[in-house]
Amino acid sequence: MAAKILIIEDEIAVREMLTFTLKNNGFETFEAGNSEEALNIVSKNNINLILLDWMLPGKAGIDIARSLRASIETKELPIIMLTAKSEESDKIMGLESGADDYITKPFSPKELMARIKALLRRSAPQTDMEVVIFGSINLNPMTHKVKDGDKNIILGPTEFNLLHFFMTHPERVYSRAQLLDFVWGTNVYVEERTVDVHILRLRKSLESETSKYIQTVRGAGYRLSK
């Protein structure tokens, strides 16, 4: 699922630009113009990362960073601060008060994305990295290993992703088109029949008993179910 990013910025134009860039890159965005809004949004949503304008009126920026760092709940929340100029003192103060990274305006969307992704990668290992278990299947995204009972299962990348998706979304039927969207990703253009082939290979790789969990639902798609 898409990471949730909160943009704290008082200038509407900049805020909109950021929102737009982030949405475009598949993130879910929230916007706040001041501390109050910001903390409110953080408390109500499961924000994954914050983009914080350092140049908020008063000392708002620094205050927000500090209060987030003070609370147990938000202690680990990654913060990227946006600074207008690359003044050494600002950087130092920013990092000191809790930002994990900073980026100076003007910056390219590309650079912003790279930093956000890097930070999310670093700080959010457990989002999609949980071990998943379904019946006798045990899938560990961290080590990229799959076991079916005692037996180690060797899967190609696509089979691995497919199984991971099914295991994190069991019981529900997905059409081939949906599987392409969710497992292959949007903007990938392959034939729907290709899904069949990967289902076949996934079934072959699993123990014969277990492979029955990968069910064909005629006219609808496939499902992981007992």
Residues that bind DNA (CB under 7 A): 156-159, 184, 188-191, 193-194, 196-200, 203, 216-221
∠141-102-6 over CA atoms, to 5°?
65
Q: Of these, 104, 123, 138, 225, which contacts a copy of itself (CB under 8 A)?
A: 225
For helices 35-44 and 60-70, angle between their N-to-C axes, nearest 10 degrees? 30
Nearer to a copy of itself, 35 or 176 (CB): 176
Q: Could you say whether residue 151 binds a copy of itself (CB under 8 A)? A: no
Rounded Cα–Cα distance for residues 112 and 139 (Å): 33
CA 136 and chain centroid, separation: 27
Q: What is the DSSP letter of 49?
A: E
Q: Could you say whether residue 197 binds a copy of itself (CB under 8 A)? A: no
Q: Could you say whether residue 193 binds a copy of itself (CB under 8 A)? A: no
Burial track 52-74 (b if 16+ CB lie within 10 A, e otherwise): bbbbbeeebbbebbeebeeeeeb
Nearer to DNA, 64 or 112 (CB): 112
Q: Could you say whether residue 11 binds a copy of itself (CB under 8 A)? A: no
- The SS3 assignment for 134 reads strand
Rounded least distance, CB 187 to a copy of itself, Å: 8
Nearer to a copy of itself, 168 or 225 (CB): 225
Q: Could you say whether residue 207 binds a copy of itself (CB under 8 A)? A: no
Rounded least distance, CB 96 to a copy of itself, Å: 5
Q: Could you say whether residue 26 binds a copy of itself (CB under 8 A)? A: no
Q: Of these, 12, 84, 133, 142, which contacts a copy of itself (CB under 8 A)?
A: 142
If phi > 0 it is left, if psi is from -120 to 50 it is alpha, else beta; for residue 82 that is beta
